[in-house]
Amino acid sequence: MAESGEPVLLSQRFDSAGMNSAEAFRGWQQAVAPVFDIEPIDAHGPFAATYDTYHLGDILVGIGSFDATAFTRSRQKALSDGIDHVMVQVYTAGGYTGMLDDRQITVRRGDLVTLDMARETRTASVASTNITVMIPRDLLKVRELPHGHMSQGPKGSVLGGLMVDFLSSLKDRLPTMPRSVGAAAANATLALYHAALEPMDEMGDTAPQPFRDAQFQRARRLIETRLGDSRLDAETLAPALGLSRSTLYRLFEPYRGVASFVLDRRLAHARKALCDPQDTRHIGVIAGISASPTPLILAEHFGADLE
C-alpha cells in the first residue's frame, strides 16, 4: 500500500538472491525473454540479477541490476514476436558495446538511448544497473524514431539529461507510487520523451509543462553549484545549459528574472550561514564565498553584526 493507503502500482520482481549462478541466469533469462535472447558473458563465473517491472497503464518501466550479459534481438525475432514498442534506456551504472543494425554503439553511464524493437540489436554489457521504459509505438506522435543514442551535440546532451533526471526520479518513486497516479506519471513520461525528440529552441512556449519544469530544475541545480561565481548570470548560464537566452528568460519569468533568482539564492545561502551558531566566519568571508552583496548590504538586509 502507498502512504495514502491506496494500492500501489502493479509490479513483478525477479531477485536471484539465494540462487546459484545457473539458477540466477535462468531466472534472468526468463525475465527478459519476451524482448531479448541473452547469454552470460562469463559462462563459468558467478552471476546475479534483480529486475522490477512496474505497470504505468500501457507503459512498462523496468529497474534492473545484472552481471555482464550478451543481449540479442535478431531481425527474425523482431518480425515474429509481435512486440511493436520502443525501449527507452538509461544505464545508471555500467554500460555496453555492440551493434544496432549495422552500426556500432557504445553506451556509458548516463547516456539516453532509444532501441526500436522492430530493428536488430546485438550488445554485450558489463555488470550494470539500468532503467528501461517500454512504450507502445501507437502512443508516439512521430513517424521516425532513433535506434541508438538520442539527439547529439550540445542540445542533445541537455535533452538527454532532462529525461535521465526524470527517469532517475521516477525510479525512486515507483515502489510507493499509488496506482491512481500511474496514468499521470505515464503522461509525464510520454510528454518528456516527445520533447526530447524535438529541437528544444524550436518548441519555445509549446514545450509540454513537465519538460519546462525539468528544464527549470536543471537550471536551478546548476545555479546552486555556482553561487560563489561572480560571473554567474544569464549570459554564462544559457550556454552551460544548452539553452538560448530567450528560453532561459522565459523559464525564470515567474521569479522576476535570472538575476533576481540568483540574488535570492545568494541571500538565502548567506542567511543560512549567518543564522548558524556553529558558523564563526566573518560576514565578509560569507559574502565572498556566496558572491553576495557587500558585507554592509548583508548586515543591513539581515540585521547582522559586522563584527
192-234 pLDDT tens trace: 888 777 654 444 555 556 666 777 878 888 888 888 788 888 8
The yes-or-no verdict on residue 188 having pLDDT over 60 is yes
Asked if residues 176 and 5 have their Cβ atoms less than 8 Å apart, the reply is no
Strand-pairing partners, residue 100, are 103, 121
DSSP per-residue codes, 179-213: GGGHHHHHHHHHHHHHHHTS-HHHHGGGS-HHHHH
Residue 88 lies in a domain: yes
pLDDT band for 161, please (50, 70, 90 cuts).
confident
What mean pLDDT is predicted for residues 123-128?
Answer: 98
Asked if residues 142 and 176 have their Cβ atoms less than 8 Å apart, the reply is no
* CA distances for 222 relative to 11, 228, 280, angstroms: 35, 12, 27
C-alpha 178: how far from chain center:
21
| Of the candidates 242, 226, 104, 221, the residue with the CA atom closest to the CA atom of residue 160 | 242
Same domain, 152 and 50: yes
The yes-or-no verdict on residue 4 having pLDDT over 60 is yes
The yes-or-no verdict on residue 123 having pLDDT over 50 is yes
Its pTM stands at 0.67
pLDDT of residue 46: 96
The yes-or-no verdict on residue 95 having pLDDT over 80 is yes
Residue 281 lies in a domain: yes
Here the CATH number for the domain that contains residue 287 is: 1.10.10.60
The yes-or-no verdict on residue 268 having pLDDT over 50 is yes
What mean pLDDT is predicted for residues 156-173?
Answer: 84
Mean of all residue pLDDT scores within the chain: 83
First to last CA, the chain: 55
Same domain, 125 and 236: no
Per the model's pLDDT, the better-predicted residue between 54 and 151 turns out to be 54
What is the Cα–Cα distance from 223 to 232, expressed in whole angstroms?
A: 8
Residue 298 lies in a domain: yes
The Cα angle at residue 186 between residues 158 and 176, in degrees rounded to 5? 100
pLDDT of residue 222: 86
Residue 102 lies in a domain: yes
pLDDT band for 127, please (50, 70, 90 cuts).
very high
Percent of the chain with pLDDT over 90: 45
Cβ-count burial of 21 within 10 angstroms (0-12 exposed, 13-18 middle, 19+ buried)? middle
The yes-or-no verdict on residue 243 having pLDDT over 70 is yes
The Cα angle at residue 191 between residues 217 and 142, in degrees rounded to 5? 135
pLDDT of residue 275: 72
Most confident of 86-100, 193-207, 254-268: 86-100
The yes-or-no verdict on residue 134 having pLDDT over 90 is yes
Domain boundary among 148, 172, 198: 198
What is the Cα–Cα distance from 186 to 97, expressed in whole angstroms?
A: 29
The yes-or-no verdict on residue 60 having pLDDT over 90 is yes
The yes-or-no verdict on residue 169 having pLDDT over 90 is yes
What is the Cα–Cα distance from 282 to 278, expressed in whole angstroms?
A: 12
Residue 250 lies in a domain: yes
Domain that holds residue 90: 11-198
The yes-or-no verdict on residue 288 having pLDDT over 60 is no
Domain boundary among 165, 198, 231: 198
Same domain, 40 and 127: yes
Residue 23, SS3 per DSSP: helix
Here the CATH number for the domain that contains residue 170 is: 2.60.120.10
Residue 271 lies in a domain: yes
Asked if residues 125 and 69 have their Cβ atoms less than 8 Å apart, the reply is yes
pLDDT of residue 294: 47
